[in-house]
Amino acid sequence: MNHPNSFAQNKMLKACPDSPNCVSSLANGSHAIEPFILAANPMEGWQKVISTLSKMERIKVIHSSEETIHAEATSLIFRFVDDIDLVFNKEEKRIDIRSASRIGYSDFGANRKRLEQLRSLLQKEGITL
């Protein structure tokens, strides 16, 4: 099932808009964020990424495959929904990441904070470098 806000299923990440409510490992400037680099077995690591993301608060994994993840994060107070997309390159042990707000202009850093929280959890588990 193709989700209208997910570009990861096409094995690509949508470019960030001009507004400061998006981060992507494929972006430059203020939208840029480092990709995740898997530390060990790529396929095992990818499965652990999926399970770790699905355990995070207010995040629901909508779609996952051997190469892509699309998840939605819902804010606590106003119930805004942000889209999280990950694309896995097994050969490079690299996971490109993107998190963006669906509506509004600024996210006050929420999308970057969320991906950095995921990065921290994965590093603590030895899944990523």
Taking 80 as the threshold, does the pLDDT of residue 93 lie above it? yes
94 phi-psi bin (left φ>0, alpha ψ -120 to 50, beta other): beta
Q: What domains can be seen in the chain, in order of their start residue? A: 19-124 (3.30.310.80)
Question: CA of 40: how far to CAs of 51, 55, 89, 117, in Å?
Answer: 16, 21, 14, 20
Q: What is the pTM of this model?
A: 0.91
pLDDT in tens, 12-63: 899 999 999 999 999 999 999 999 999 989 999 999 999 999 999 999 999 9
